[in-house]
Amino acid sequence: MNGKAIFRAPEAEPYLKLHGIFRIPGGQAVLVSQNCGGSGCQVDPLSFVLLAKHAKSQVLTQVDFNSETHSIRASEKSGTVIVDLGYYRQKKKVAVLDSEYLSIALKDVPVREMPDDQCKSLYNAADACVRDHTSSIGCFDYSTADFASGGFSGSNAEVWGVRIASHFPGFNRNGFVATCATACRSGKLESYAAFRMLTCTAPPP
């Protein structure tokens, strides 16, 4: 701005995306994300660049200021910027910029069923379990796997398919582990309707 750099992304994540400019007390807040440009980095770090007429620009961020489910929807109300970051481990994730203070909160939600598009993505990823039927390594034991951080064996697309879906409310972890084990032993995957009932609907609390 005015011939001076106000934000510079690291070499590992040189690609920037502008998500919006919002009015805040005393100036504006610019929401940007960074990306490495490859298929292996799908959780983009976010930052607010704060601009004021008679002050030096500031960059506000946090290590968890990102979206695991590719949802970044920001809005401004009375000088406060609220960013809907989708879901994180079955909870709603929201960032709030208020008076130059950035906070991240997780909120419980009553949702018990996963959206159909995410469940279908999970179903497609489960094809990796079927392929394990003929693998020399054998079936993977997912009893202690952390799917939300990439603990699944498959192609890059399949790993991300499971990782993203696992953050949504409705993800039935035990059902997915059992379904994957059955698919590996039998060499075939059950119907989508049966899969959805077992893995994309959370059990009663």
Report d(CA 167, CA 197) in Å as an integer: 17
Report which residue type is found at 108: D
Place of tokens 């490495």: 36
DSSP 188: S
Report d(CA 98, CA 68) in Å as an integer: 23
Question: What would the two tokens of residue 85 be?
Answer: 């970051």
Q: In sequence order, which residues have a C-beta less than 8 Å from that of residue 165 and are 6 or more positions away?
A: 114, 118, 119, 121, 122, 125, 171, 200
> Could you read off the pLDDT tens digit of each residue along the chain, which spans 205 residues?
777 788 887 888 888 999 999 999 989 999 999 988 877 788 999 999 999 887 888 999 999 999 999 999 999 999 999 999 999 999 999 999 998 899 999 999 998 999 999 999 999 999 999 999 998 888 999 999 999 999 999 899 999 999 999 999 999 999 999 999 999 999 999 999 999 999 999 887 7
